[in-house]
Amino acid sequence: KMSSASGILEDEPGTLLFSELDDENFTNKTPNISKAPNEASLRKMFPYAKKRAFATFVDSKKVSASGSDSRSAQSDKHWQCCDQTFKDPASIHKHVARAHDLEIQEHTKAILTLLGSRGNVKECNTSAQPAAEEAVEVMDMQLWLPDISYLNEAELDGGPGEVLLYYCYCEVEGPHLICAWQKALCQKLHLKGKIRVATEGINGTVGGSKVATGLYIKAMLSHPVFKIMCLDDFKTSEGGAHCFPDLKVGVFKEIVPMGVDPDILSYRLAGTHLEPKEFHKEVEAFLSKYESCNDTILLDCRNFYESKIGQFTKCLAPDIRKFSYFPDYVDKNLELFRGKKVLMYCTGGIRCERGSAYLRSKDVCKEIYQLKGGIHKYLEHFPEGFYHGKLFVFDERYAIATGSDIISECRYCGTPWDQYQLCSTRFCCQLVLSCPACRQQGHTACCSVCQGKDWRQGEPEERALSDHRLKEECECTDRRPRVPCDAL
């Protein structure tokens, strides 16, 4: 089991005891395992365990020398430890060997204990290596869980809360291991939300107390796989765990479901990233000559119900219900984009990564730019800028605001209104803009067909049959294209 204070495995009956692995034995490179089961195998596995512990520790000190530019950061690394910077592997290795021997010993003890307790090393030969690797991977996951022993429940859950939105495109060799780590991390910090993991990276939004989200960010930035991230990659807004019904973490083919295999169309083909200030200047120039401008398009990559309650002035907002329809929209409107300069934006930036890559693959645009950090970051810099209305978010808040302007209206009476609620009809997941006055009159559904259904009449069995028969008879449903299956 894990010690919450140290993150190291505690003693368990019948396993390798920490007391048996004293400093003298570690200095001599051979642990005292005379009382442990499978002692010969564990003795032979000691060099492997110590090598893995050393490599994990060094990896934890790696940082990006290129800031937030993930593409250049991949090839420009250095290490920071004990207030020193090391620019080559040899120097950091020497430093860790000299200054952090005790930490390496503790990690090695933990790895050997795990191997012994799980019975993964019955014989030390090549066939035992995969099992040992699996065991150490589990150990690695535990090493990246934060220490919260100094916090009580009230400190972890209490106080102001917030919601984090982030993504990171990077190579993930073991997405299922990262998925398990994310589940354990969020459960430990009492966070709720949605996280997608794939071999191409991670995409998530989680909510909890600011203490918990702060520890979550720290854990993410310290993990070797996500070291290319920086603090600015996490967008924050007021909220908390109550903004999500539960925690969902899964492994998918894509971290944003566009329906195009990332092995065929990579995010690396994305357009040029513009900081919020640069994007603001581009939009300003576009609007200043809008009446005579025919060479620039300000493109909203989001769904219609998102752009309906908030958008940039004079944008092109496609009438699509899912991002997976975006490629089809581009294919049908290639002439619209031909020879044009395109300024793209979305909520947090992730859809533009794949969307701009797809548009670039068509080779029809003159230039393609995308808003780095999305509307979220833009509003931090320009709350009174060119974006008007609310920002739609995929949690139970539905929208967040930096201003009071309303650009949408109630679907029933036309009064200004921008607060979404779900259609009142079972099985219909459409969002409805219905003002309080109209809702009091019973106008709570997305369309006349849904509004005409009365689920309160009839016996339970009759209602169940009626549910099954009528759930696809909504006129909104009939208008919807079918959503491509999101492959796990």
Q: Which has the closest alpha carbon to 198: 251, 258, 263? A: 251
How is residue 484 annotated by DSSP? P
Q: Please name the amino acid found at residue 208.
A: G
| Region of residue 442 (phi > 0: left; psi between -120 and 50: alpha; otherwise: beta) | left
Q: Which has the closest alpha carbon to 315: 325, 323, 306? A: 306
Of 168, 346, 435, 438, the catalytic one is 346
What's the CA gap between 43 and 50, in Å, rounded? 11
How is residue 21 annotated by DSSP? S
How is residue 428 annotated by DSSP? -
Q: What are phi and psi of 119, to 5 degrees?
A: 65, 30
C-alpha distances (whole Å) from 299 to each of 4, 227, 291, 292, 387 are 49, 31, 17, 18, 13
Q: What are phi and psi of 201, to 5 degrees?
A: 145, -150
Tokens of 154: 């009230």
- Count CA atoms within 13 Å of residue 404 on its CB side: 0
Pinpoint the alpha helices (H) of 200-349.
210-222, 276-288, 304-309, 326-332, 334-337
> Helix, strand or coil for residue 213?
helix
Contact 359, 295 (CB under 8 A): no
With a CB cutoff of 8 Å and minimum separation 6, the contacts of 129 are: none
What's the CA gap between 429 and 424, in Å, rounded? 9
> Helix, strand or coil for residue 38?
coil
Is 447 annotated in the active site? Answer: no
Residue-by-residue DSSP string for 174-188: -HHHHHHHHHHHHHH
* Residues 197, 488, 353, 286, CA torsion sign: negative
With a CB cutoff of 8 Å and minimum separation 6, the contacts of 83 are: none
Tokens of 153: 């429940």
* Catalytic residue annotation: 346
